[in-house]
Chains A and B, each alone.
Chain A
Amino acid sequence: CSSLLVATGTWVPNVVNFPGSEYVEGYETVSINPEDFAGQTVLILGRGNSAFETAENILGVTNFIHMVSRSRVRLSWATHYVGDLRAINNGLLDTYQLKSLDGLLEGDLEDLAIVKDKKGKLHITLRFYLENRNTSAGIDSITLPQDELDNFATRAPYDRVIRCLGWKFDFSIYNRSLGLMTGKGNKKKYPQIKPSYESKGTRGLFVIGTASHSVDFRKSAGGFIHGFRYTTRAVHRLLENRHHGVPWPSTVYPITQLTNSIIKRVNEASGLYQMFGILADIILLREFEYLEEYPVGVLAELEGQTGRKAPNGLFVVIMEYGRNFSGADKDVFYYNRAVGEAQHAWQSNFLHPVIYYYKRLPTEHEMRLRPPDWPLPRPDAVHHIVEDFLTDWTAPNAHILPLRRFLENCLSTDLRNFFAESCFLFAFTRQKLPPFCRQGYMRMQGLVGSERLRHHAVEAGLLEDYTLTDFLGDGPPDSHEGSQDHLLRDNAIPVHPLQHLVTAKDE
């Protein structure tokens, strides 16, 4: 077959081998009935969501619970990664830090050993002691750490030990020739794939679902249902193009709709929001073509992967956290963590839209050399829409206006809206019209506007009121200017905007 979609998840439990590991129960089989743990002392190996979830479940009935793991706990509200400990599971942190009942310990599980005494209680000792002991002697001859260090932390015996060490991908059924390699470093539980979710070794073999998390491990939500439902759709679209010649779905809009379509998407799109940093909307220029939720890691291959062409440059709309904001030991509650002003938007910390502008499609080389932690290589221009407390980016002056200026400057055009009356004036006094008039007024879809709005625009100094001269009779133009000045002064609004509008004067 030409394509194979692997959606087998990561179901193989991680197991650590140490002396006594046979006494350990696995997360996959352990009872979930809290009553089974009544009054017991429990040791949990691991420190992920499943470990805490297990602890949470039995917390109320146990004597106490201890957790041992190699690394310290990472809280997802600090790392902005849902794979780290979610607050809904972390009740044990309270009982540890506030009530001194339960506890967390750090240590390498490989150094541990568990011995069972005659009463069936489980004691923690070190592998080191086991290796040195006289093999012929019985259980009593085993040195326990508390024999030498009488305040050893885990000196109390446990009734049960539960392993919650996570899962890995089952590589066993794949022949070597497929080249389905394990990932590098902390991603070794996942198969190695390209940002297009295709195996590096075999064309046509795609990994989707949680097993595809190597693409955005510890960055975004691709390992979880609320994230991979979007990446899987992206794979579907890639395959549609590859095998059925169906290009990536896109909508073509006139350039006047550019600002609005971006605002609409960053406010409404769930794929961008969940798969921040990974899926991005791509806007291909000149009139523009809007492609939703493309895996940004394979931006360089856009034309081949989507069947759409980008001859005149493109915008990439993506959501990002502030680059230095998230982290395991970061204080995410410090004062002034949020930026309020549009001009400092690039320092936004919370998830906010970022728009990259490229005059031409970045090459694969450029993609490889992009700065660490950047989803994309250096653009020709970049815009951040300032973070918003309500995640509502529709404020006319703080969100839309700076975005419009950015788009205008990238495209070197004027994207303002105009009332029909202004378009009328431009039509008679300029050889060229701004896009809004071209697309609307000239096609008999001009914005006439109500009298009250016209009045507001005049007050703002953005529209000239020619009816005024009527009241003054046929006064000289000076008197008209006078009244305009008067209008402007009254409202203490600088004259500039008007100047920009009426530079039509050729003479």
Chain B
Amino acid sequence: MSAQKDRWVFSFFFLLFCASSIRMQGSARLLQELSPQEYFSSLQAGRASLAYFSHNVSPGAQPFLEQIENSAEALQDYGISVVKVNCPKEDVSRYCGEENALRKAYLFRGNMLIREFPTDALFDVDSIVANVLFALLFNEVKYVETLADLQNIENALKGRSNMVFAYVPATGTAEHRAVMEAAFVYGTVHQFVLTTEATLLKDTGNDESDVSSARLLFCHCQQATDLAQPCRRTAMGQTLTMLNIHRHLKLMGAPLVTEVAEDPEKVSTVHLQLGLPLVFILSQKETYEADRRTAEFVAWQLLGKAGVALLSRDLVDLNILLRSNVALKTPDEGEPVKYLVLEDTDEVITLVEDKNKVEQIQEDEEEIEEDEDEKENNNQDVQDDQVVEAVSRDKKRELPLEQILVLTEETFHSALLETARTVVLFYASWEAVSLAVLRSYTEVADHLKGTRGILLSRVNCWDWPGVCTKENVTQFPTMKIYEKGGRSVMYSGMWGTEELTSFIMLNRVSCPLRLATIDEAEGYLRGEFPPELSSYHHTSLLGVFSTATSEAREAFEEAGNLLSGHVMMGMYFEDDALALSRKYAVSPPALLLARSRGQSVEGIALSKESVQDMVQMIRYELLDVFPEITVQNLPRYLQLRKPFLIFFSDGDLGQMESKEMLKLAKERPQQAFVACWLNLKKTICLPVMHKKREPLELPHLHICLCSPFLRKKELSFDRAQRKKTPVGRGVLKAYFATMPSLPVLIWVNLHAGGHVFKFPSELSITEMNILSWLEKLKAGLEIPSSTLSEEDWKPPLPAYDFLQMMEMAVPETPLRTSHRHRDVPQQYPPESSGGDTGVQEESPQDSKAEKVGSPGRDLRGTAPRLAAREKQGKRHSEL
């Protein structure tokens, strides 16, 4: 035992020895060790060297010596050698003799001493490099302390050379080093000026910057002509690193405006190479001078953020719209150049800056994600499902469920027999969507409180899976209305309070409702009959049949069954049906469509149609001709699969616009598009427009009609209801970088191509203007202001890769089974052979299995990962 231990200890020391000797050899190449004679005789004229004299290694100098060793490599890049001079004991010469001298390092150029540094100024590699270069570049980098000094230098440079002005809070920092390294490269091109005085920074107009961070300004003095004015300055936005300074100086060195005469797709400039966008100002011969001035103006604004090029359209044959005046090329490979029509230079600037902003946010985000990746697995465990999160945030609140009867497996069937209609919401207490619906359902219960003949109830399928399976509930939530007689209907509409309530109420009367007298029929068309439903529907449908036409009537009744709860349908087939049909100039079988309480009634002849066709027809007829699009009704119009012409309005429609738009919408009976409008603001009253058929042209009316539902329970309804569709703002923000001024007319083809066009704001909204604009769109003469993303919906975040984790854990295999693992393909988890039952199945002889777990693999684990693995090891060690 002890012998073994000794051997182990020995080999450990042996390893250590090897390691340290290798390291000595490695650094010996950079850090020379010479005697004083050797050193002084080796000094060459013009070559700089940093020397440190020592008798022997005194303990205090040890850290310093380490740093100086480390900096040897960095200094070598600048042609500076680092030498440790070993003084013989008896030596009492200048450098070796004095006790004091040994606490210093000396910088020589040739054999001339340039500077001596106290060792405490050389505390790390950054400070060594910074201070040594600072001493050597004495002429290239001017150090200033007062504003006057700075101004003198600046004035002297005007018309001759540019100036790089850097502020660092202290010398010897990493920023200082970066500036010095940049000066080493660019010192002959630009004049470098350095300060540690924060006041100088304030006076250069950078008042918002805080003095704790270093700053760098590029002063354009070469072009400066006016001696009285300070040079134009461009601040560097990023932190001071060698790379960033290099990038900034390169950008400053690039021409302000590049003139190009080729296809923008092929153009490449410094900006694009450095990952910045390039803005093209499209110019013509006639406007060249003005365009050039614009380009320069924009270029100054965007200096350091984007490049600007002036493109003469006369020289390049571009297949773009004549109106386009700006193009944007991003550095991303493969992204096409975007052509835009912009109105002023500010838009150009916001275009670029917003882009930068977005990118910056994305970058930051990536960084954060990376950081978190190191620590944990980013935010996979943060809920990003809005419904689940919203429901779980609402979990602690007790729902007002007292109006809703809880049904169980035992009480379910008996409860159905008690009331004429029992509404049952099947939900699962763990399922977020059904819990969200349960919340709307409580609101429904509140609205319907006291309504006779309706019982609202619920079944939690988590507690009672049996009854849910029996009632054929395959997904959550499901709502069904059971009639006492045994018939039931399943709800298939929007899960909103309003829709649910109206469905339940409309279901109380049979669909279609048979009307007995002509008075009832008239009352029905006016929306007054049956009275209890008068507030739950806008549109009444009445089928008029002479008794003979039973076939159409049956189809109509079937359709009524299918549309039950969604549409108000009545039918009349008494003897005097003809009188009714004559009044509305139709011949039975016919449909009468009464919108907004009988203010307009149109007649539609019923041909022999299948039930499905009739349902389709009824659905289609119920659509408005110029609807206000809301969150709730959009899907109905999307099903037409036509392009949308949308009028985004901040508030109600103007008289003029609505008239023109309506004219436009009605013009074509078979419109090729859906003309609609969207109210971005809260609405109390909304004008309801009606689709009209030719024969029954009642005078068109704008009726100000509150949503019937609101009239009843206006105040108890939530805010979202009274706000119409503020989310439309999100739509506009997605279409345009900035929110356009309202109202705005948009053409968007959602189903083909996804191009978005904006009606020119300078044109007034008239039928003629819109039509001719649409013609231009069709002819491809307009350029889309944006195109909807075609991107697929990908997983928002990665999943835990358990397969990989299992593989990672292979080395963790308990020792006692490891021998068996030799022939087990390593990609399988270690536990696989842990069983001691001795039931060895066919041993996996597939040598073809990829050797994922090659011996070197586990060494790649990072420190935290190893630590984590140790933790796991503890948790799962065998006993």
Contacts and interface: CB of A to CB of B under 8 A. Distances in A.
Contacts of A25: none
Interface in B419-473: 428, 430-433, 436-437, 439-440, 443, 462, 465
Interface string A458-481: 011011101101100010110000
Contact of B385 (A406, A416, A445): A416
B727 A328 contact: no
B440 A450 contact: yes
B786 to A, nearest CB: 5
B390 A434 contact: no
A419 B387 contact: yes
A431 B635 contact: no
Contacts of A263: 430-431
A347 B876 contact: yes
A243 interface: no
B793 A499 contact: no
A134 interface: no
A413 B394 contact: no
A456 B802 CA distance: 33
Nearest to B846: A369
A201 interface: no
B3 interface: no
A483 to B, nearest CB: 13
B480 interface: no
B333 interface: no
Given A218-B839, A346-B806, A449 B387 contact: yes
B371 to A, nearest CB: 12
Contacts of B376: 343
Interface string B836-872: 1101111111100000000000000000000000001
A301 interface: no
Interface in B775-806: 786-803, 805-806
Nearest to B358: A505
B382 A343 contact: no
A425 interface: yes
B475 A257 contact: yes
A429 B834 contact: no
A120 interface: no
A264 B475 CA distance: 10
Contacts of A503: 791
B667 interface: no
A378 B831 contact: no
A331 B379 CA distance: 35
A462 B793 contact: no
A470 B789 contact: no
B611 to A, nearest CB: 19
Contacts of A408: 795-796, 799
Interface string A346-360: 110000000000000
Given A381-B803, A400-B388, A432-B793, A405 B632 contact: no
B202 interface: no
A405 B380 contact: yes
B774 to A, nearest CB: 19
Contacts of B379: 494, 496
A343 B377 contact: yes
B499 interface: yes
Interface stretch (B35-43, B118-126, B547-555, B717-725): B717-725
B831 A414 contact: no
B392 interface: yes
B794 A405 contact: no
Given A409-B799, A427-B634, A454-B390, A323 B834 contact: yes
Contacts of A449: 387, 390, 436, 439-440, 495-496
Given A373-B835, A416-B384, A457 B389 contact: yes
A24 interface: no
B25 interface: no
Contacts of A442: 635, 638
Contacts of A346: 800, 802, 805-806, 829
Nearest to A393: B430
A501 interface: yes
Given A322-B831, A414-B793, A466-B729, A453 B798 contact: no
B402 interface: no
A404 B381 CA distance: 11
Size range of the chain B interface in the assembly: 35 or more
A417 B839 contact: no
A412 B792 CA distance: 9
Interface string A394-429: 101100111011101100111011111110110111
Size band of the interface chain A makes with B: 35 or more
B875 A347 contact: yes
A22 interface: no
Contacts of B103: none
Nearest to A329: B836
B439 A450 contact: yes
Contact of B386 (A342, A369, A416): A416
B828 interface: yes
A374 B634 contact: no
A496 B796 CA distance: 10
A215 B619 CA distance: 58
Contacts of A412: 792, 794-795
B432 A418 contact: no
Contacts of A495: 361, 365
A454 B720 contact: yes
Interface in B491-513: 492-499
A394 B462 contact: yes
B22 to A, nearest CB: 40
B439 A422 contact: no
A411 to B, nearest CB: 8
A365 to B, nearest CB: 9
A438 B739 CA distance: 28
Contacts of B358: 505
B337 interface: no
A413 B792 contact: yes
B389 A460 contact: yes
A447 interface: yes
A381 B798 CA distance: 12
Interface stretch (B257-265, B408-416, B730-738): B730-738
Nearest to B636: A444
Contacts of B392: 396-397
B789 A430 contact: yes
A83 interface: no
Contact of A378 (B380, B390, B431, B828): B828
Nearest to A408: B795
Residue among B361, B380, B795, B872 facing the most chain A CB atoms (10 A cut-off): B795
30 contacts: A260-B431, A268-B465, A326-B835, A343-B381, A371-B824, A372-B832, A373-B832, A378-B827, A383-B799, A383-B802, A396-B430, A396-B432, A401-B388, A417-B432, A425-B731, A429-B730, A429-B788, A431-B789, A442-B635, A442-B638, A448-B495, A448-B497, A452-B394, A452-B439, A467-B723, A469-B729, A495-B361, A496-B384, A497-B384, A506-B787
Interface of B: 338, 358, 361-362, 365, 368-369, 376-377, 379-394, 397, 428, 430-433, 436-437, 439-440, 443, 462, 465, 474-476, 492-499, 631-632, 634-636, 638, 650, 680-682, 718-720, 723, 725-731, 733-739, 742, 748, 750, 754, 786-803, 805-806, 824-825, 827-837, 839-846, 872, 874-876, 878-879
Interface of A: 185-186, 218, 251, 253, 257, 260, 263-264, 267-268, 322-324, 326-331, 334, 336, 339, 342-347, 368-374, 378-379, 381-384, 394, 396-397, 400-402, 404-406, 408-409, 412-414, 416-422, 424-425, 427-435, 441-454, 456-457, 459-460, 462-464, 466-467, 469-470, 474, 476-477, 494-497, 499-507
Given A408-B795, A416-B385, A429-B788, 13 more contacts: A186-B839, A260-B476, A323-B832, A324-B830, A345-B802, A416-B796, A428-B731, A441-B635, A450-B436, A450-B439, A454-B390, A457-B389, A495-B361
The 5 closest A-B pairs by CB, nearest first: A448-B496, A323-B831, A394-B430, A451-B718, A408-B795
